[in-house]
Amino acid sequence: MAKYKLTPKFGSAVNLKQYDPDYHENYNETDAVAEVTKLKDKLESLQEKLYAEGKQSLLVVFQAMDTGGKDGVIRKVFEGINPQGVRVISFKAPTPEEMAHDFLWRVHQYAPPRGYIGVFNRSHYEDVLIVRVNNMVPKPVWKAHYEYINQFEQLLASNRTRILKFYLHISKDEQKQRLQARLDNPEKQWKFSVGDLPVREQWDSYMEAYEALLERCNTDYAPWHVIPANHKWYRDLVVAKTIVAALEDMNPRFPPPADGLDKIVIPD
């Protein structure tokens, strides 16, 4: 990423205007798609080893504005991966039961067990995004959530869970085009929500909220990655590269075979 810093500097202020959502290095769509195909083969092999080893886990968190591409990148990157070892959780508005607990309760129970890849489509960060922007709780309450989140992620990391967090960064103009495309396509109209429009009017407030969490919750044990996401094919490439690199660093291995396998004869 020579011209685009993927991971903000730990502890430093973040200005999203310095991150170009149109950036795509020197890639074109054809080359990017071909490379993603190769990366998915590596991901499939690494996921099988992770599951067989059963000693560590990977948590992948996706956050974005509406139409940012969370569903799309999950579908593209994890397509063909053995579903036995991957769990995708989409967090919607909290249920009454979830509201009766602390804000991390509903998230913690979905943390991936050892051997698994857990994928969060939205996450615990909604409590410093929508909650903050819409003043759902007093400011001292949501401000305290940043540190609670850091402590929660540190707990997961200490339990051998590698954490990757992706903010899919699209421009406001790109969001408009994607919303219009949903309106114009009868097969996509079900994805359009009138409720997306008031959120769009809060764009600047959400950018401020994202900048705050990228500054306050970007740690060495749970780093944030700002993904240029106007080009879906480049978004998929960068996410796939980052996940494969993390798994290679985790270096999962098949467990040794049981003793005596060389003496076993399968009966006719």
d(CA 31, CA 27): 6
pLDDT 10s digits, 6-52: 888 888 899 999 999 999 999 999 999 999 999 999 999 999 999 99
Residue 2 is predicted with a pLDDT of 39
d(CA 111, CA 124): 11
Query: Among candidates 70, 67, 200, which has minimal Cα distance to 123?
Result: 70
pLDDT 10s digits, 218-268: 999 999 999 999 999 999 999 999 999 999 999 999 999 888 888 889 998
Contact 19, 226 (CB under 8 A): yes
d(CA 228, CA 6): 9
pLDDT 10s digits, 144-191: 999 999 999 999 999 999 999 999 999 999 999 999 999 999 888 888
Contact 206, 199 (CB under 8 A): yes
Contact 175, 67 (CB under 8 A): yes
Residue 113 binned pLDDT confidence (cut-offs 50, 70, 90) = very high
Question: Mean of the pLDDT values across residues 88-94?
Answer: 94
pTM over 0.85: yes
d(CA 122, CA 61): 7
**List of domains in the chain:** 36-252 (3.40.50.300)
Residue 4 is predicted with a pLDDT of 67
